[in-house]
């Protein structure tokens, strides 16, 4: 597939294989040669005025023909494509970033990149409660019309992608390696599910391994493509804080969910809140801050309003029946229902998001009138 219908794919692969080719140099290259014909037989003189790095210039002058052919075969066999920064399909918010990558490899639904995106990130080793919160919040946002962007890592990233898919919404995964090498390998099946409606994206060509220094590079794309970044659980030195910092530097909203002072995985979130991140207790706290037009009319006309009540399964009905209109603690609900605390915490969040229950100080909940 040729994203803009003008540039032959082989020439785009040549550019993508030039290490250190920045957006400025690529744009100058396009201005000089709109179809990138200059890359067919480049000379030092033709590239001299493009402010290229030495490695980029050398790669364009002496391309690795075997790798180029291999990339083209991979693109054809997977249906993946290359989107350039000058292409209308390139994410508008990311294009505005000063360090935007000039080309993106994309597998899946390219049009998903145009949807309003919310980045959700966090620990690779979250608590059970953090994982449930990430999944439930992602599902809520996906139903509201946001595409959930994350990094396909184990833990919170995985829960966010899964939550969006469970809500039949869109999700975008940004990788720190080539799209032919899914990392972590445990998420290969999840990656394939994402491509059915959403997209996998990377600035790195096929065969690029996921070495540590590439993850901060990946994080700048997660932050740059999104209207805001929500950190669910993160330790003090978490890579998620890099994503949040980059989002703030780009002028995007930064959100963090607080937690117990005894949980080391909430310390990063608390640091962000002290630095000015918006404290999030409810999903509505995020939606209220994002000044974007959502494709869903969830806020104006709730799908789960009185005229169209949600269908609750047996476990949710049992929990709702156990709630009175006076605030009750989780411990009392455990005693009344026989369910465990993790299940109740996750179900209460869903019931709260759907307007069935109201939270109260001290971690207590009550049933909403009319429920």
Is residue 252 one of the residues assigned to a domain? Answer: yes
What is the maximum alpha-carbon separation in the chain? 80
Q: Which domain holds residue 359?
A: 314-367
The total of structural domains in the chain comes to 3
Cβ contacts of 163 within 8 Å, gap of 6 or more: 134, 135, 136, 137, 138, 139, 142, 148
How far, CA to CA in Å, does 162 sit from each of 120, 136, 148, 165?
12, 9, 10, 5
Q: What is the CATH number of the domain that holds 209?
A: 3.40.50.450
Q: What is the CATH number of the domain that holds 343?
A: 1.10.10.10
Same domain, 64 and 148: no
- The residue among 51, 68, 85 that closes a domain is 68
Same domain, 61 and 114: no
For the chain, 371 residues long, give each residue's pLDDT as a single digit of tens. Answer: 344 457 999 999 999 999 989 999 999 999 988 999 989 888 888 888 787 888 999 999 999 999 999 999 999 999 999 999 999 999 999 999 888 999 999 999 999 999 999 999 999 999 988 999 999 999 999 998 999 999 999 999 999 999 999 999 999 999 999 999 999 999 999 999 999 999 999 999 999 999 999 999 999 999 999 999 999 999 988 889 999 999 999 999 999 999 888 889 999 999 999 999 999 988 888 988 887 655 443 443 343 333 333 456 677 888 888 887 678 888 888 888 888 887 788 788 878 777 788 887 777 888 876 55
- 119 has which bridge partners? 149, 229
Secondary structure class of 328 (helix, strand, coil) = strand
Same domain, 267 and 328: no
E strand map for 151-259 = 171-174, 199-202, 228-231, 253-256
Same domain, 59 and 207: no
Is residue 319 one of the residues assigned to a domain? Answer: yes
Same domain, 157 and 262: yes
84 contacts 90 by C-beta, under 8 angstroms: yes
């Amino acid at each position: 597939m040729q994203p803009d219908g003008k540039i032959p794919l082989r020439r785009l692969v040549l550019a993508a294989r030039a290490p250190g080719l920045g957006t400025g140099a690529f744009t100058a290259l396009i201005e000089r040669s709109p179809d990138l014909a200059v890359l067919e037989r480049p000379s030092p003189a033709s590239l001299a005025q493009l402010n290229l790095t030495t490695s980029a210039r050398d790669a364009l002058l002496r391309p690795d023909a075997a790798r180029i052919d291999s990339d083209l075969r991979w693109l054809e066999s997977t249906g993946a494509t290359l989107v350039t920064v000058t292409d209308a399909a390139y994410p508008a918010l990311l294009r505005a970033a000063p360090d935007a990558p000039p080309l993106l490899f994309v597998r899946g639904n390219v049009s998903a990149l145009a949807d309003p995106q919310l980045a959700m990130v966090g620990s690779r080793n979250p608590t059970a409660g953090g994982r449930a919160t990430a999944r439930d919040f992602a599902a809520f946002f996906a139903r509201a019309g946001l595409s959930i962007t994350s990094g396909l890592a184990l833990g919170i990233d995985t829960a966010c992608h899964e939550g969006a898919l469970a809500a039949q919404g869109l999700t975008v995964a940004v990788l720190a390696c080539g799209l032919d090498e899914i990392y972590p390998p445990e998420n290969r099946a999840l990656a394939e599910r994402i491509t059915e409606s959403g997209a996998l994206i990377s600035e790195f060509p096929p065969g690029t391994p996921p070495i540590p220094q590439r993850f901060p590079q990946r994080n700048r794309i997660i932050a740059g493509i999104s209207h805001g970044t929500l950190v669910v659980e993160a330790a003090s030195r978490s890579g998620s804080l890099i994503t949040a910092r980059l989002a703030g530097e780009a002028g995007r909203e930064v959100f963090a969910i607080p937690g117990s002072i005894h949980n080391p995985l909430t310390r990063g979130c608390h640091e962000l809140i002290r630095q000015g991140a918006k404290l999030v207790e409810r999903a509505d706290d995020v939606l209220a801050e994002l000044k974007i037009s959502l494709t869903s009319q969830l806020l104006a006309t709730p799908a789960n309003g009185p005229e169209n009540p949600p269908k609750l399964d047996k476990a949710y009905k049992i929990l709702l029946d156990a709630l009175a209109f006076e605030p009750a603690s989780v411990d009392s609900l455990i005693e009344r229902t026989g369910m465990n605390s993790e299940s109740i915490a996750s179900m209460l969040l869903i019931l709260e998001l759907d307007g069935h229950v109201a939270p109260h100080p001290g971690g207590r909940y009550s049933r909403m009138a009319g429920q």
